[in-house]
Copies of this chain bind each other. A is one copy, B any other.
Amino acid sequence: MINKCVQAFPRSEYMRRLAAVKEEMARRDLRTLVVTDDSNVAYLLGYTAQSGYVPQGVIVSADRGEPTFLLRRQDAPAAIHQSFLDRDQVVGYPEALVGNPDENGFDAIIDLLHDLGAAEAGLGLELADLPAPDVDKFRRRLPAARIEDFTGAVTWLRIVKSDLEIAVMREAAAITDAAIRRAGEVLRPGLRESDAAAEIVAQLIRGVDGIPGTGTANSFFLCASPRTGTSHIPWTEDVLQPGAQVNLELSGMRHGYVAPIMRTFSLGTPNDRLRKVHEAELAGLEAALDAVEPGRTCGEVAEAFYRTAEAQGVTKESRCGYAVGINWTEPTASLKVGDPTILQPNMTFHLMLGNWMEEDFGYVISETFRVTESGADVLTRSPRDLLKLC
């Protein structure tokens, strides 16, 4: 028998999360809920293994205690090891449902729903996370169920972090900062972009101060001249040139939680334009952080950024941030003009000021912060200068 790993959170933390989910289920008169979004599964169970490329789901019943996690049998030991669940609540479905054009793991989930008596009551599904043919299957095989879309509901519960979650995000942030320091050590003209990426990613895994990264955030971007106008390409095979600009976006990861950052490096004296954009963005960043206060809206924070940066001649089309936590972006609140989300203590955001202004020119800076009782507490602590390396 496999043992449980040291859990990132106590059982009481998971029971608190579960209680909040059940409250929302009660509000919608749902007897059963199937959670399939990978980040929501991690939130409810502490399970971060990469098995979600085949069907799996957490089944929450209004009238039962712990949820049941139904996943591929091959991955059940990982779920017993990682999750807070009693081992009886981890159920593996057989391999015959994998790579099978006629039946898949959702059939096993639907069978379980029938066994649980969920077939004729309110049933929540995360419809936007499910492939259309699988939603059709749920409707076809559960014709008497009242299926309601639960998309985003668990995600919205995640937006206010517990102090325990903040502590984990601080660990991730320390790793983030260590990787930025490592970038400062290795980025030099003459180095291949891929060799730089190797060193920086290794730091993200190795961690800092005895605390390793516990996974790879799938997002790691190193966009160097002449590609600073791109945001999401991988590093290339090119050698960094004297005077090159390097835009970095990365995050450490602890137990699935991230604390991302962006920084711009200049391998030589930055030109006037880059310096001017940096100054405007930095002023905007500070203005946005100053605007953070419980009771204000996400939109007001965004306005502070745009107003300040624009006063210095810099516009930015994209939103200037989003809620952040497990697996990077939480698709809930955005730091963008008009977003009505009211800030509350322990909400966490990636204030993302990446600005891809022209096809061949962009600049990046960002911070991960949490909302405090009175303002913003920036979790990432790297220097905010335009990082010059010669």
- A interface, CB within 8 angstroms of B: 1-3, 5, 48-51, 53, 73-78, 80-82, 94-95, 98-99, 127-135, 149, 151, 192, 194-195, 197-199, 201-203, 205-207, 212-216, 218-221, 226-227, 229-237, 317-319, 322, 329, 331, 334, 336, 356, 359-360
Q: Are A194 and B207 also in contact (CB < 8 A) when A1-B360, A49-B233, A359-B2 are?
A: yes
In the assembled complex, the CB of A30 is this many whole angstroms from the nearest CB of chain B, namely: 18
Given contacts A131-B131, A132-B135, 20 further A-B contacts (CB under 8 A): A1-B360, A2-B226, A2-B230, A49-B233, A75-B231, A77-B229, A77-B359, A78-B230, A95-B319, A98-B319, A128-B133, A131-B132, A133-B149, A195-B206, A198-B205, A199-B202, A201-B202, A214-B237, A216-B220, A218-B218
Question: Can you report 27 residue pairs joining A to B where beta carbons are below 8 Å apart?
Answer: A1-B360, A2-B229, A2-B360, A48-B233, A49-B230, A50-B219, A51-B232, A53-B329, A73-B317, A76-B359, A77-B229, A77-B230, A78-B230, A98-B319, A99-B319, A99-B331, A99-B334, A128-B131, A128-B132, A195-B206, A197-B205, A198-B201, A201-B201, A205-B235, A214-B235, A215-B234, A216-B216
Q: Which residues of B contact A133 (CB under 8 A)?
A: 127-128, 149, 151
For the complex, give the distance between the alpha carbons of A3 and B360 in Å. Answer: 8
Chain B residue nearest to A78 (CB atoms) is B230
Assuming the contacts A128-B131, A206-B198, A218-B218, asked whether A3 and B226 have C-beta atoms less than 8 A apart, the reply is yes
The answer, among B5, B74, B99, B231, for a CB contact under 8 Å with A356, is: B74
Nearest B residue (CB) for A328: B53
Q: How far is the CA of A359 from the CA of B92 in the complex (A)?
A: 12
Q: Which residue of B lies closest to A125 (CB)?
A: B132
How many identical chains are in the complex? 2
A82 CB contact (under 8 Å) in B192, B194, B205, B233: B233
Residue pair B74, A231 in contact (C-beta under 8 Å)? yes
Chain B residue nearest in CB terms to A219: B50
CB neighbours (8 Å) of A329 from chain B are 53
Chain B residue numbers with a CB within 8 Å of A99 are: 319, 322, 331, 334, 336
Complex alpha-carbon distance, A134 and B149, angstroms: 13
Query: Is the pair B192, A198 in contact by a Cβ cutoff of 8 Å?
Result: no
State which of B131, B149, B227, B318 has its C-beta within 8 Å of the C-beta of A81.
B227
Given contacts A82-B233, A206-B198, contact A74 B318 (CB under 8 A): yes
Q: Inside 8 A of A1's CB, which chain B residues have their CB?
A: 359-360
A205 close to B212 (CB less than 8 A)? no
Interface pair A201/B213, CB less than 8 Å apart:
no
CA distance in complex: A319, B334 (Å): 43
Report if A95-B317 is in contact (Cβ < 8 Å); known contacts: A127-B133, A131-B130: yes
Contacting residues, chain B, for A231 (C-beta < 8 A): 51, 74-75, 78
Q: How far is the CB of A96 from the nearest CB of chain B, in Å?
A: 9
Alpha-carbon gap, A368 to B105, bound state (A): 27
Give the Cβ gap from A257 to chain B, nearest Cβ, in Å: 13
Choose one: B2, B219, B220, B319; the contact of A227 (CB below 8 Å). B2
CB distance from A207 to the nearest CB of B (A): 7
Whether A201 and B216, one on each chain, are in contact in the complex, defined by CB atoms closer than 8 angstroms, is yes
**How close is A187's CB to chain B, nearest CB, in angstroms?**
15
Q: Which B residues lie within 8 Å of A212 (CB)?
A: 192, 194-195, 237
Contact A214–B234 (Cβ < 8 Å): yes
Q: Are A198 and B194 in contact (CB under 8 A)?
A: no
Given contacts A131-B127, A360-B1, contact A50 B319 (CB under 8 A): no
